[in-house]
Structure 1
Amino acid sequence: MNLTWTPEQLARREKYRAFGRTAVAPGAEDRDATGDFHRSAWKELAASQFWLSHVSTDVGGHGGTLWDFLANLEGLATGAEDSGFVLSAVAHAGLIHVLSEHGTPEQQRRIIPALTGGALGATAATEPQGGSHVAAVATTARPAAHGGWTLTGHKSHITNAPAADHLLIVGRMPELGKRDITLFVVERGRAGLSTGDHEHLLGQRTSPTGPIYLQDVAVTDDDIVGEPGNGLATLYSFLAFDRLMYGIVVAAQLEAALPGAIARITDRHAFGSPLAEHQMIQDKLVTARTTIESSRHLAYAAADALIRGDDRFSVLASCAKLAASEGGVHSALELMQIFGHSGYERTQPHERRLRDAVAIRIAGGTTEMQKKNIFKDTAERFAPAAT
């Protein structure tokens, strides 16, 4: 397993760290207060060819590797200082991944250029009654009188939904029998499809999140992604890709916070010595560093497994997500503690970092779901051999 960045990938990482610092970070505090998505920076990101790195040349991409894109993402997350913006990028990248891996050539030609060119994508599985249990979706496609189907349902808490241009909908086709979960891709403006307002959230406030309503939305074979009835397997593949990206993003964001924390404990004195000489303070930085390294390298391992077709890809992605979500909250709390009362002030980034971190315990599958996935894989993979 080779996890070494090439010089070209390191240059990509630096390019998008600088992009994040100059195009996304300014005004992040104000956008957090108002709950605004930075749509103009989103357009600039697309214009910079951020999304093209590993997209097929058949649809206008550069035909590079997944590592090329992950270098872009890691750089953006390091520099942006706007966690909601990066969270929207993670969700958007998931839709591009699904269409690249499972979409028809016609779907790829029709949708991927829009997604790489500045449109916003969303993937909708969660429903009001289902939560993390994605197999329990109630959104249903019924045969239409003149061919095709009509799709009806309600999705909730969907990242990017209030502003999305293209949406992947997880639904059912009961006519298929017991195995009926199917994925549909639809665009904003289709009759019967509407989205609700941006939810008023504790953290990740700059990422537009809200409901999707579908009332007899006409869909055809051209809108089905992957094999009808095989949507759950496709969705699980998407979720694993989503989760490994969280590992990379959390590690990058925590890493970006370390210089400020080091400066604080070096300059600030207590009981006659710098804070950096107190072991209890040192421990807080050790916690953050451990989260950075474990989240990042578990994510790298999951990406490597994905590329090689190793069936451990999904469990490694869950391990990365778990390390990132739990370690991210703990580390954000410890970093805020280093700054004392000033760390708790709304005018500082430390309390925003903590609010944003809490959301990662829920997004992309809750902490409890990651533990369930990891236990299931462990019990199956390490079951004692029959005698």
Structure 2
Amino acid sequence: MVVPRSPRGVIVNISWNKRQEQLRQQYHDIAADLVASGSDARDRAGSFDRKVWDELAATDFWRLQVPVGIGGLGQESWDWLAAMEGLSLGARDLGFLMSVASQSGLIRLLLTSGTAEQQRHWLPRLTSGAIAATASTEKSGGSDIRGISTRAVRQAGGGFVINGDKAHITNAPVADVVMLAARTDTDPGAFELSLFVTATDAAGIERGAGEDLLGLRSSPTGPIAFHNVRVDDEAVIGGVGNGLNCLYHTLAYDRVLFGVIVASSLEAQLPQLMRRLAQREAFGSPLAEHQYMQEKVVSMATAIEGSRALAYRSFGLLDARDRGYSLSASVTKLFASTGLVGSGLDLVQAFGHSGYESGSAAERNLRDSVAFKIAAGTDEMQKKNIFNHVRRAVR
């Protein structure tokens, strides 16, 4: 891997080495064959195909970045990112990729903050096909993490009892494992957050039906409730009271992956746009000769290159635990979501009426793209985070 570094030694950019190029191509081909082939049908039905998920796990996709001693292949985190980029290039299914990003968030959290026992217990399950959900969002709080009301009360004999309701959780209707954020503070006016991991078949956990969404219809999303759910002390990830830091890190990781997904998804659509502009004529010349249509290509190329470069930089900062990761991840997510929606509108415009027809690739892409302005923190929350970072830096 060619890795230019900043003066502090933090990775700021990369180019893939031969092994990573091979992984990228391998998972592009796997995604094109395994995921893309049934993508339109899953979108129309609003369904999630567990068989596709299991077959992806069978390719060792999840095992790439997990240490050998706990069932993984022990490769670098950048190797897995190369595989994720390839998957995103070939999948043609933003919903499925959203579910993949959610799963990878918990695996990453266990690798960076989990105990040795937690890693031995959960990672073999998650890398072999078990589905994970990360549950922090609630109806009353939305993107406001400090608005979380779910509580985990410590018991005299050890462990916790958890009560609360989570809403709009990716993978919740089909999840086998859930990580949830709950308040563990006891003093009035205080706010202390802790993260817990448990199997969804534990007594008191209820998974609701999947939501009927505008886009990302192949990603199962819904509520998950906790009624007097008992967990032991070993269920706490990262230590009691350290949940906010761990959750911020996980959310930043999601935002970085969004940059990779957006760049790859748009890259896969760029040839389709170019063919359309070359073949369709208006006023005696191909659309590609018209400046306003050329601008759409330029905008999409800018979204691709910018999202990818920002994602690579942010992933390097995150991997190094550099203090700048949060700002960089928010910039990545905001830039990528804006570029995805803008390109979605451009694609519909470029394809005209056929792009507006229900079931067309352009129509579906536009529906799917809107969710990226909401998931993992709304655009407004990214702007708030960016502003607060800048304000602290210039005082």
Q: TM-score range by the shorter chain?
A: over 0.9
Structure 1 residue 56, shift from structure 2 partner? 1.6
Distance 2:40 2:331 in 1: 31
Residue in 1 aligned with 2:219?
207
1:127 partner amino acid: E
Partner of residue 128 from structure 1, selected from 127, 139, 152: 139
1:142 partner amino acid: V
2:252 partner amino acid: A
Cα offsets for 1:57-104 (capped at 9, x unmatched) = 221112222211111111111111111111000000000011111111
Residue in 2 aligned with 1:341?
353
Is 1:311 matched with 2:323? yes
Contact 1:52-1:61 within 8 A present in 2 as well: yes
Residue in 1 aligned with 2:153?
142
Residue in 2 aligned with 1:229?
241
- The within-5 A match list for 1:1-387 is 1=5, 2-144=13-155, 146-175=157-186, 178-383=190-395
Distance 1:196 1:51 in 2: 26
What is the DSSP-based 3-state SS (H/G/I as helix, E as strand, rest coil) of the residue aligned with 2:53?
A: helix
Distance 2:174 2:120 in 1: 22
Contact 1:179-1:230 within 8 A present in 2 as well: no
What is the DSSP-based 3-state SS (H/G/I as helix, E as strand, rest coil) of the residue aligned with 1:290?
A: helix
Distance 2:232 2:191 in 1: 19
What is the DSSP-based 3-state SS (H/G/I as helix, E as strand, rest coil) of the residue aligned with 1:218?
A: strand
Contact 2:158-2:233 within 8 A present in 1 as well: no
Structure 1 residue 308, shift from structure 2 partner? 2.7
Distance 1:136 1:55 in 2: 33
Contact 1:24-1:38 within 8 A present in 2 as well: no
Distance 2:80 2:388 in 1: 30
User: Percent same amino acid among aligned pairs?
Assistant: 47
CA-atom RMSD in angstroms? 1.2
Q: How many residues are treated as equivalent by the alignment?
A: 383
Cα offsets for 1:241-271 (capped at 9, x unmatched) = 1100000000100000011111110011110
Contact 2:172-2:207 within 8 A present in 1 as well: yes
2:149 partner amino acid: A
1:335 partner amino acid: L
Structure 1 residue 309, shift from structure 2 partner? 2.9
Distance 2:322 2:39 in 1: 39
Structure 1 residue 179, shift from structure 2 partner? 4.5
Structure 1 residue 22, shift from structure 2 partner? 0.4
Per the normalisation by structure 2, the TM-score is 0.95
What is the DSSP-based 3-state SS (H/G/I as helix, E as strand, rest coil) of the residue aligned with 1:358?
A: helix
Distance 1:16 1:282 in 2: 31
Contact 1:176-1:229 within 8 A present in 2 as well: no
2:179 partner amino acid: L
1:84 partner amino acid: G
Distance 1:217 1:90 in 2: 26
Distance 1:345 1:223 in 2: 48
Distance 1:313 1:232 in 2: 15
Structure 1 residue 145, shift from structure 2 partner? 5.9
Contact 1:291-1:327 within 8 A present in 2 as well: yes
What is the DSSP-based 3-state SS (H/G/I as helix, E as strand, rest coil) of the residue aligned with 2:391?
A: helix
Gap runs ≥5 in structure 2: 6-12
Gap runs ≥5 in structure 1: none
Structure 1 residue 176, shift from structure 2 partner? 7.0
2:343 partner amino acid: S
Structure 1 residue 326, shift from structure 2 partner? 1.0
Structure 1 residue 302, shift from structure 2 partner? 0.4
1:271 partner amino acid: F
Cα offsets for 1:200-229 (capped at 9, x unmatched) = 000001000000100000011011111101
What is the DSSP-based 3-state SS (H/G/I as helix, E as strand, rest coil) of the residue aligned with 1:142?
A: strand
2:336 partner amino acid: A
Distance 1:257 1:299 in 2: 19
Structure 1 residue 307, shift from structure 2 partner? 2.4
Distance 1:218 1:347 in 2: 45
Contact 2:177-2:200 within 8 A present in 1 as well: yes
1:231 partner amino acid: G
